């Protein structure tokens, strides 16, 4: 079993920089404290190198595992100490409007007042600084102790024998696929036929590369092997070879020599890669060849390998298998037509394969196991390797106890290391850079088959600190690029594509979900508690991220408050009574209670000074605390679909708030001062009390605006027509208006930056009038989306008008998407 370091090494790697930033701030530390901070900064860099060394160990001992677990806890505690530091020294005043005003005032009043203020601050914060210094000394002592342990217990890789291999050679988990009995394969006839046709039946005489891509365990190697066998039997090629590259490639010793040994008379020569490539090209001269490059992971290896294959216009072919869709496209002769994406088995084929493996060919499942059989097969999700692996583990075992271990997780901790499945999945996980490991493990918070909203996930990642600053991209853009990377690696699945081809939701295959839950347990990354089952997490240590699933009326977390006081995130799926007490959770960054039913207690909410993400969407909450403005780190607040009628006035003081999703709640006065807002979702801005749209127009950095409209509550001239003037909304890029809308009009040069316009009519336009006009006045417009709940004369007139303006009048000719009653037209 490999050691679980993964996301930890990335976290520890980032801490020295955070400590360095702390030293550069003008905070008053007690004598010696700056030296202690510098010591931590230096020592953590060395410690991270040791962590990476531990990660390379194939069979770490108990001492090494214990040391890594202690480093993990220490890293979390140091980061919490850093994040709490400024708030405890000056109560976060440096970030507050009052502090800014005080600074300006003191500058104008002269240096004496500034000096007095500094002296008073030192006296009043002295107790806090003593506590900080004491905690810092404790952290330093823990670092010293762990450093001493590292010196006492050498974490060296096991001795290697001559030839460069350790005493016990690792067995390639894909060997089973290479030598599988073709008569035992299920659901491969159509894919083998399709790929064979892609390889030989297009009439191309030039060299062609066909790629097979798909998620780990989807049968890429099995498919490529079956195609190779079929084409060899049909004598389509003069010679052929099959080589695996793998995650740790040996291009000279394994790949090139392997091809030479299969197509020629063996190999006798040196280790020079240039000479090997030349020999291989000579061997392939004037031959029609078929080479399978299996399990390709990197572009560098492909750049080397493709130099070996000469093109003599004889119809030679290369087949490549890879888990990375982007790499598959890069390798292929035609990025679209020459890539085959492996799918999942049908329900019938899944059951056939499982039954053959577990009970023997032609035999049925025993009656007492049928319920568990159905559950386990469904959980395998049509993934061939999962089905074969789990069925093999249960073969000829007829005890319900044995089967129940796989009911809720296909990788139970007591058996997961025995399964070929985990080895295959580990290859994909280990290939991730540390920042993607954190993001991937984070998905274990969500239940199996849960559809994860993109915006929700991106904002949570940012709140957790997983997304680094980039010079030419926002954090949101960086986070979305991470999602694209995970999709390309076939680790997550995209759902519900938008107008621009990007998904609005993601989900995980059940097998991948089970794998990352186990990984999260190993790294104490997420603790999952399920009311329907026993706790999924076996860790008895400090809970860092808590996911309560299937929460019921009985309080799941009440007896565990001592364990969760260091939790950074709490997510509850189910009843609100499962929400733990908030009073003592001083380092909480994320509180996500979306969809919780039942009364919700928010006592202690305003003490969560590090809280960055608060999601109360779809809960029974009816009022927010008046002091919510004290949450100065808050970046996202979501109260849509709640009973909250009015937002507290103190929200205006939240300078870091970027995403305010207010739903039907009345916006506070002076909202135009919230210049940090990037996203705003609100309702009834044209209400009888007067429109607040002019105030919203003054939000300098607003990028996305979502307006919910009820025509019955619109006052005055706006009753039949709502217009957007040329003033305001200087940076708005996306505008969405939905509800029972009046006519919407845009005047010349209004909303100059808007690229996406969404209009969703919940009621028809009975009088047959046009529901929108002036889209030609939106100079940056690229996409228009219109939805009607029913088709009537007004809907027909509006659709025709918008399409005409887009095609005939607007210089950009924006795309127009239309849905009526949920169907695209």
Q: How is 270-313 classified by DSSP, letter by letter? A: -S-HHHHHHHHHHHHTT--EEEEEEEE--HHHHHHHGGG----S
- Can you tell me whether residue 663 is helix, strand or coil? strand
Query: What whole-number distance in Å separates Cα of residue 715 and Cα of residue 381?
Result: 54
Query: What whole-number distance in Å separates Cα of residue 512 and Cα of residue 523?
Result: 16
Q: Under 8 Å CB-to-CB from 158, ≥6 apart: which residues?
A: 57, 58, 59, 166, 167
Per-residue pLDDT at 557: 44
Per-residue pLDDT at 376: 93
**Of residues 268, 225, 95, the one with CA closest to residue 676:** 95
- CATH code linked to domain 526-674: 3.80.10.10
CATH homologous superfamily, domain 188-341 = P-loop containing nucleotide triphosphate hydrolases (3.40.50.300)
Distance of CA 486 to the CA centre of its chain: 7
Question: What secondary structure letter does DSSP report for 255?
Answer: I
**Of residues 148, 543, 185, the one with CA closest to residue 356:** 185
DSSP calls for 163-229: TS-BSSPPPPTTHHHHT--GGG--S-HHHHHHHHHHHHTT---S-EEEEEE-STTSSHHHHHHHHHH
Neighbouring CB atoms inside 10 A of 99's CB total 14
Instruction: Tell me what the mean pLDDT of segment 746-752 comes to.
Output: 84
* Phi, psi of 496, rounded to the nearest 5 degrees: 55, 75
Is the pLDDT reported for residue 282 higher than 50? yes
Q: How confident is the model at residue 238 (pLDDT cuts 50, 70, 90)?
A: very high
Per-residue pLDDT at 65: 79
**Share above pLDDT 90 across residues of the chain, in percent, rounded to a whole number:** 46
Encoded tokens for 233: 């039997």
Is the pLDDT reported for residue 358 higher than 80? yes
**Share above pLDDT 70 across residues of the chain, in percent, rounded to a whole number:** 80
Identify which has the larger pLDDT, 282 or 178: 282
Per-residue pLDDT at 558: 45
Neighbouring CB atoms inside 10 A of 591's CB total 23
- Can you tell me whether residue 750 is helix, strand or coil? coil
Q: Is residue 426 within 8 Å of 519, Cβ to Cβ?
A: no
**SS3 assignment for 669-730:** CCHHHCCCCCEEEEECCCECCCCCHHHHHCCCCCCEEEEEEEHHHECHHHHCEEEECCCCCC
The top-scoring range by mean pLDDT among 37-51, 196-210, 739-753 is: 196-210
Query: What whole-number distance in Å separates Cα of residue 408 and Cα of residue 286?
Result: 56
Is the pLDDT reported for residue 225 higher than 50? yes
Is the pLDDT reported for residue 56 higher than 60? yes
Is the pLDDT reported for residue 816 higher than 80? yes
Query: What whole-number distance in Å separates Cα of residue 291 and Cα of residue 278?
Result: 17
Q: Quick one: fold of 423-511?
A: Arc Repressor Mutant, subunit A (1.10.10)
Per-residue pLDDT at 781: 94
pLDDT tens digits along 465-477: 999 888 889 999 9
Neighbouring CB atoms inside 10 A of 489's CB total 23
Q: Is residue 132 within 8 Å of 88, Cβ to Cβ?
A: yes
Is the pLDDT reported for residue 180 higher than 70? no
This prediction has a pTM of 0.88
Per-residue pLDDT at 44: 79
Per-residue pLDDT at 577: 83
Neighbouring CB atoms inside 10 A of 716's CB total 9
Query: What whole-number distance in Å separates Cα of residue 735 and Cα of residue 737?
Result: 7
Residue with tokens 């929200």: 651
pLDDT tens digits along 595-635: 999 899 999 999 999 999 999 999 999 999 999 999 999 99
Encoded tokens for 119: 């002296």
Query: What whole-number distance in Å separates Cα of residue 703 and Cα of residue 680?
Result: 8
pLDDT tens digits along 103-152: 334 444 456 555 445 554 544 545 566 777 788 888 888 888 888 887 77
pLDDT tens digits along 317-333: 999 999 999 999 999 98
Question: What secondary structure letter does DSSP report for 334?
Answer: S
Q: Is residue 297 within 8 Å of 245, Cβ to Cβ?
A: yes
Instruction: Tell me what the mean pLDDT of segment 281-292 comes to.
Output: 93
Dihedral of alpha carbons 695, 697, 699, 704, sign: positive
Query: What whole-number distance in Å separates Cα of residue 677 and Cα of residue 60?
Result: 48
C-alpha distance from residue 673 to each of 318, 437, 654, 687 (Å): 61, 38, 10, 21
- Neighbouring-strand partners of residue 666: 646
Is the pLDDT reported for residue 236 higher than 90? no
β-pairing verdict for 783-788 and 823-824: unpaired
Q: How confident is the model at residue 9 (pLDDT cuts 50, 70, 90)?
A: low
Query: What whole-number distance in Å separates Cα of residue 638 and Cα of residue 640?
Result: 6
pLDDT tens digits along 529-538: 887 665 545 4
Residue count of the chain:
825
Per-residue pLDDT at 101: 37
Query: What whole-number distance in Å separates Cα of residue 520 and Cα of residue 256?
Result: 38
């Amino acid at each position: 079993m490999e050691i679980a370091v993964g996301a930890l090494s990335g976290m520890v790697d980032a801490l020295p920089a955070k400590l360095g930033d702390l030293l550069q701030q003008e905070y008053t530390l007690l004598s010696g404290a700056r030296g202690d901070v510098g010591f931590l900064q230096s020592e953590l860099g060395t410690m991270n190198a040791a962590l990476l060394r531990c990660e390379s160990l194939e069979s770490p001992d108990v001492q090494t595992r214990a040391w890594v677990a202690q480093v993990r806890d220490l890293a979390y505690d140091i980061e919490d100490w850093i994040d709490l530091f400024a708030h405890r020294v000056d109560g976060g005043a440096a970030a507050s409007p009052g502090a800014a005003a005080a600074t300006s005032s003191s500058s104008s009043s002269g240096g004496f007042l500034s000096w007095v203020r500094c002296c008073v601050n030192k006296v009043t914060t002295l107790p806090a600084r003593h506590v900080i210094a004491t905690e810092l000394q404790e952290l330093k002592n823990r670092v010293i102790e762990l450093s001493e342990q590292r010196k006492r217990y050498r974490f060296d890789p096991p001795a290697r024998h001559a030839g460069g291999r350790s005493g016990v050679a690792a067995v390639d988990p894909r060997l089973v696929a290479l030598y599988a009995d073709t008569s035992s394969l299920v659901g491969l006839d159509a894919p083998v036929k399709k790929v064979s046709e892609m390889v030989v039946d297009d009439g191309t005489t030039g060299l062609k590369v066909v790629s097979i891509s798909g998620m780990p365990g989807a049968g890429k190697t099995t498919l490529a092997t079956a195609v190779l066998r079929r084409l060899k039997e049909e004598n389509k090629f003069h010679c052929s070879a099959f080589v695996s590259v793998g995650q740790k490639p040996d291009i000279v010793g394994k790949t090139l020599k392997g091809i030479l040994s299969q197509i020629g008379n063996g190999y006798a020569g040196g280790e020079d890669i240039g000479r090997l490539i030349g020999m291989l090209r000579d061997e392939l001269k004037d031959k029609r060849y078929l080479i399978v490059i299996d399990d390709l992971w990197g572009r560098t290896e492909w750049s080397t390998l493709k130099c070996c294959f000469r093109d003599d216009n004889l119809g030679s072919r290369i087949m490549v298998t890879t888990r990375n869709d982007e790499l598959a496209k890069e390798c292929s002769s035609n990025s679209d037509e020459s890539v085959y994406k492996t799918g999942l088995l049908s329900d019938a084929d899944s059951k056939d394969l499982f039954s053959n493996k577990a009970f023997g060919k032609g035999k049925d499942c025993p009656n007492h196991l049928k319920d568990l059989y159905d559950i386990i097969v469904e959980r395998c999700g049509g993934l061939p390797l999962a089905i074969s692996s789990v069925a093999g583990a249960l073969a000829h075992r007829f005890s319900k106890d044995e089967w129940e271990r796989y009911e809720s997780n296909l990788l139970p901790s007591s058996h997961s290391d025995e399964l070929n499945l985990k080895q295959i999945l580990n290859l994909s996980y280990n290939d991730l850079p540390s920042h993607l490991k954190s993001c991937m493990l984070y998905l274990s918070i969500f239940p199996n088959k849960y559809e994860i909203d993109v915006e929700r996930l991106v904002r949570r990642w940012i709140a957790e600190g997983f997304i680094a600053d980039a010079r030419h991209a926002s954090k949101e853009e960086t986070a979305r690029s991470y999602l694209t990377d995970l999709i390309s690696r076939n680790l997550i699945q995209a759902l519900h594509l938008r107008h621009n081809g990007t998904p609005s939701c993601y989900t995980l295959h059940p097998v991948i979900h089970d794998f990352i839950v186990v990984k999260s347990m190993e790294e104490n990354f997420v603790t999952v508690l399920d009311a329907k089952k026993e706790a999924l997490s076996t860790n008895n240590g400090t809970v860092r991220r808590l996911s309560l699933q299937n929460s019921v009326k009985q309080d799941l977390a009440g007896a565990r408050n001592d364990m969760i006081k260091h939790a950074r995130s709490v997510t509850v799926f189910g009843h609100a009574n499962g929400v733990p007490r908030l009073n003592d959770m001083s380092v909480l960054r994320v509180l996500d209670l979306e969809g919780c039913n039942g009364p919700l207690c928010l006592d202690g909410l305003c003490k969560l000074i590090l809280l960055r993400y608060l999601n109360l969407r779809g809960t029974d909450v009816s009022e927010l605390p008046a002091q919510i403005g004290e949450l100065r780190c808050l970046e996202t607040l979501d109260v849509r679909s709640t009973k909250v009628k009015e937002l507290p006035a103190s929200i205006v003081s939240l300078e870091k708030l970027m995403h305010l999703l207010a739903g039907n709640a009345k916006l506070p006065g002076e909202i135009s001062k919230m210049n940090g807002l990037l996203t705003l979702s609100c309702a009834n801005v044209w209400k009888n009390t007067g429109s607040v749209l002019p105030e919203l127009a003054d939000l300098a950095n607003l990028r996305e605006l979502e307006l919910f409209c009820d025509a019955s509550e619109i006052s005055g001239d706006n009753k039949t027509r709502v217009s957007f003037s040329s003033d305001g909304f200087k940076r708005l890029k996306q505008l969405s208006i939905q509800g029972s809308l009046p006519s919407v009009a845009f005047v010349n040069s209004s909303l100059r930056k808007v690229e996406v316009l969404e209009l969703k009519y919940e009621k028809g336009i009975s009088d047959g009038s046009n529901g929108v006009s002036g889209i030609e006045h939106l100079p940056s417009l690229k996409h228009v989306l219109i939805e009607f709940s029913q088709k009537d004369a007004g809907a027909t007139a509006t659709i025709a008008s918008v399409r005409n303006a887009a095609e005939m009048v607007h210089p950009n000719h924006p795309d127009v998407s239309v849905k009526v009653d949920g169907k695209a037209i």
